[in-house]
A and B are shown apart, each in its own frame.
Chain A
Amino acid sequence: SYVLTQPPSLSEAPGKTASITCEGNDIGSKGVHWYQQKPGQAPLLVISFDNDRPSGIPERFSGFNSENTATLTISRVEAGDEADYYCQVWDRSSGHWVFGGGTKLTIV
């Protein structure tokens, strides 16, 4: 089955840029989607199809996907960006949806 690998944690200072990676075999050939989840809340879609922002998501959120790594970039991070972030793809070979293990972003 298809596997997506994310770093478990990442720390960044307010105002800096946070980059969260998601690795998968030839992930660049798939559409990658990113979710933000704050404690006690349901996941929120923040990026679809590599770099599309749903309505209401700040421009500070962007994505890139190439070869074996997809990246979610959050510019000028704020305390309110502290959350768990998950990447997700649809795996055509299995017909299954796959999530990465998640990255806990801490703003220090």
Chain B
Amino acid sequence: EVQLVESGGGLVQPGGSLRLSCAASGFFFSSYWMTWVRQAPGKGLEWVASIKQDGSEKYYVDSVKGRFTISKDNAKNSVYLQMSSLRAEDTAVYYCARGEGYNYESFPSYFDSWGQGILVTVSS
């Protein structure tokens, strides 16, 4: 059974930093792209960042470029999101998700397994 478990969330002041972790199990982690998706309170889903199987390619939504860094440790079956220069608008539940449905360009088309989410609150 695929399991994704996020940790590391909490309350942080504007301008602060936080590192989210996602521990994966039940599948061959090194064969999958991994992604972070967030959801602000009462709002919709927003794709945040994705990382290729071996960590060689990373993609970010424009609003977090230069502030967030996604990384992947295949030896530890974990994916991370280092968040810095946090803003109030980064307040959200952050989900870790597994990419699937690889297209002809080897990008995942959708996300077939999700963690339970972790809340990040940016406030003074």
Q: Which residues of A contact B (CB under 8 A)?
A: 1, 31, 33, 35, 37, 42-45, 48-49, 54, 84, 86, 88, 90, 92, 95-102
**What residues of B have a CB within 8 angstroms of the CB of A102 in the complex?**
44-45
Pairwise interchain contact B45-A43, C-beta atoms closer than 8 A:
yes
Q: What distance in Å separates the Cβ of A30 from its nearest Cβ neighbour in chain B? A: 9
The total of chain B residues at the interface (CB under 8 A) is 25
Residues A54 and B109 in contact in the complex (CB < 8 Å), given A43-B95, A97-B50: no
Pairwise interchain contact B47-A101, C-beta atoms closer than 8 A:
no
Q: Which residues of B contact A (CB under 8 A)?
A: 35, 37, 44-47, 50, 59, 61-62, 95, 100-101, 103, 105, 107-112, 114-117
In the bound complex, CA of A60 to CA of B11 (Å): 41
Pairwise interchain contact B95-A97, C-beta atoms closer than 8 A:
no
**What residues of A have a CB within 8 angstroms of the CB of B50 in the complex?**
97
Q: What distance in Å separates the Cβ of B42 from its nearest Cβ neighbour in chain A? A: 11
In the bound complex, CA of A44 to CA of B103 (Å): 21
Query: Which listed residue, A1, A37, A45, A84, touches B110 by the CB 8 Å rule?
Result: A45
